[in-house]
């Protein structure tokens, strides 16, 4: 029979164990959680250190370029044609600045463009960066004619300019949605090329006395295309648009807006080139060639706007009566900034054609189908000319259609308005459709874009 003191000791030991067991269990459960929290904290610390290091690198690079003075930058990235890069950083640089690429004329240079235009003083006022590419080849003209220059990442000058933009974006945390290009003569031609090669990089361009993208194309190594310069190259709007789109096959995103300046007495890049550029960029934008607005900003100027009536219409053209090739003058850069939306004033951005709703129904049989499409303009502005983009399912080929013209017959298709339904008022709808063959998949397209902007379904 146990003695009383042993019984008491056992009871005390059991009581102690009962108290300790929950504590031990809690520790066993909590330990992994604590380890996980420690690991997560370490990961956050490492990420913060990486961000601090990246910010320090940006600060160091930015400090290497003094403010309020034109500075050459080297080793800025891929540069197959050995361009030189100059940058102007204003003292009041915005926290997330826009970028303006200012491209010089033949025989000129980046410093010449800096000295001959007002973009630096305007940058002081509005806080954006200005990049001045500079040609080193003997002609001092930009390459706007070679096959390499006329395709995305093909080589030559556009690649170097893209690298300059990337450098500025990395170094200053620039706003990638506000990158712009402007140029004079050879620089105007390069502006057209940049917007064709890199529609995902540039939001808009302003070309002073240029030619359409691809007009100067040559295959003999020559930098000059006399037929284009003389204004004898004429194509349809669709052909010009296809030429620009071919630089970046398969791209379906938004397209940059374009402002065009030309003198009626230009004897270097003759005046008909203005009309050809209007054809090209209205087609690229998917808007009609009939002006939505026409006015006279000052004596001798005729300004036409396409696809919109505001300061930031999809396409704007300014014709200068009696003016020759050397048309750039004081005050024009400020008008460029208004078109770009960088002047801090003026009306809100022009409503862009594109916001829409699409509903589609199909009726299929063994090897064929019909699709009925209803397109509705859901913006508060009229759409003057439309291009509806979609991708046909694999194995489908359009054999005929109504309410639009369709090209190509398979793959990524664009339905372009007919003359009688080109204008879509706010809230208005248009019916169109097509007949197609199929090899088993009779589904409707899954997504649509109107003039490059995504549509909602329903």
Q: What is the pLDDT of residue 19?
A: 56
Residue predicted with more confidence, 450 or 80: 80
pLDDT for 148 beyond 60: yes
**Using 50, 70 and 90 to split pLDDT, how confident is the model at 45?**
low
Q: How far apart are CA 227 and CA 245, in angstroms?
A: 22
Tens of pLDDT, residues 122-141: 999 999 999 999 999 999 99
User: Quick one: pLDDT at residue 225?
Assistant: 96
For 334-386, how does the pLDDT look when each residue is reduced to its tens digit (9 = 90+)? Answer: 999 999 999 974 433 333 444 688 999 999 999 999 999 999 988 877 888 88
* Res 144: pLDDT: 98
Q: Against a cut of 0.75, is the pTM above it?
A: no
**Alpha-carbon span 72 to 132, nearest angstrom:** 9
Give the residue-averaged pLDDT of 17-45.
Answer: 52
Name the region of 319 (left: φ>0; alpha: ψ -120 to 50; beta: rest): beta
C-alpha R_g of the chain: 30
User: Is it the case that residue 103 has pLDDT exceeding 70?
Assistant: yes
Q: pLDDT tens for residues 255-292?
A: 999 999 999 999 999 999 999 999 999 999 988 889 99
For 330, residues 6+ apart whose C-beta sits below 8 A from its C-beta are 118
What pLDDT was estimated at residue 41? 57
Residue 236 has pLDDT above 70, yes or no: yes
Residue 221 pLDDT grade (very low, low, confident, very high; cuts 50, 70, 90): confident
Half-sphere exposure of 60 (CA within 13 A, CB side): 6
Q: Which residues pair with 220 in a beta bridge?
A: none
* Residue range 141-165: mean pLDDT, rounded: 97
Instruction: Please determine, for residue 117, whether its predicted confidence score (pLDDT) is greater than 60.
Output: yes
pLDDT band of residue 31 (cuts 50, 70, 90) is very low
Could you tell me if residue 153 is left (phi over 0), alpha (psi between -120 and 50 degrees) or otherwise beta? left
Which residues participate in catalysis according to the annotation? 185
Lowest mean pLDDT among 159-168, 254-263, 382-391: 382-391
The more confident residue out of 83 and 412 is 83
pLDDT at 2 over 50: no
How long, in residues, is the chain? 458
Provide the CB-side half-sphere exposure for 343 (13 A, CA).
18
């Amino acid at each position: 029979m146990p003695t009383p003191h042993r019984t008491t000791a056992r009871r005390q030991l059991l009581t102690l164990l009962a108290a300790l067991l929950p504590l031990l269990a809690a520790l066993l459960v909590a330990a992994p959680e604590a380890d996980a929290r420690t690991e997560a904290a370490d990961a956050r610390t490492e990420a913060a250190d990486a961000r601090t290091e990246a910010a320090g690198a940006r600060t160091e690079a930015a400090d290497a370029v003094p403010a309020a003075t034109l500075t050459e930058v080297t080793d800025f990235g891929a540069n197959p044609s050995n361009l030189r890069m100059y940058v102007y950083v204003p003292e009041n640089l915005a926290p997330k600045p826009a970028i303006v690429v200012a491209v010089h004329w033949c025989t000129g240079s980046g410093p010449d463009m800096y000295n001959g235009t007002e973009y630096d003083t305007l940058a002081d006022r509005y806080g954006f960066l200005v990049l001045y590419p500079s040609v080193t080849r003997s002609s001092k003209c930009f390459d706007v004619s070679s096959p390499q220059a006329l395709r995305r990442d093909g080589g030559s000058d556009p690649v170097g300019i893209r690298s300059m933009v990337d450098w500025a974006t990395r170094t200053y945390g620039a706003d990638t949605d506000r990158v712009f290009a402007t140029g004079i003569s050879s620089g105007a031609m390069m502006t057209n090329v940049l917007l064709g090669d890199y529609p995902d990089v540039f939001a808009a361009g302003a070309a002073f006395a240029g030619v359409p993208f691809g007009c100067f194309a040559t295959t003999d190594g020559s930098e000059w295309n006399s037929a284009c310069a003389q204004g004898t190259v004429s194509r349809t709007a669709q052909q010009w648009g296809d030429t620009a789109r071919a630089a970046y096959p398969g791209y379906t995103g938004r397209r940059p807006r374009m402002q065009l300046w030309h003198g009626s007495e230009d004897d270097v890049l003759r005046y008909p080139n203005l009309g050809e550029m209007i054809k090209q960029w209205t087609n690229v934008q998917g808007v009609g060639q009939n002006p939505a607005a026409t006015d006279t900003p000052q004596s001798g100027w005729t300004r036409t706007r396409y696809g919109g009536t505001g300061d930031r219409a999809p396409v704007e053209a300014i014709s200068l009566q009696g003016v020759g090739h050397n048309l750039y003058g004081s005050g024009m850069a400020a008008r460029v900034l208004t078109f770009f939306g960088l002047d801090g004033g003026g009306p809100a951005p022009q409503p862009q054609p594109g916001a829409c709703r699409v509903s589609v129904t199909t009726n299929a049989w063994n090897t064929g189908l019909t699709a009925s499409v209803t397109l509705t303009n859901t913006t508060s502005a009229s759409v003057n000319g439309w291009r509806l983009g979609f991708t046909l399912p694999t194995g489908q080929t359009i054999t005929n259609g109504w309410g639009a013209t369709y090209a190509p017959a398979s793959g990524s298709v664009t339905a372009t308005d007919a003359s009688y339904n080109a204008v879509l008022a706010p809230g208005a709808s248009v019916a169109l459709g097509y007949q197609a063959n199929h090899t088993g998949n009779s589904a409707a397209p899954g997504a649509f874009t109107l003039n490059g902007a995504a549509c909602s379904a329903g």
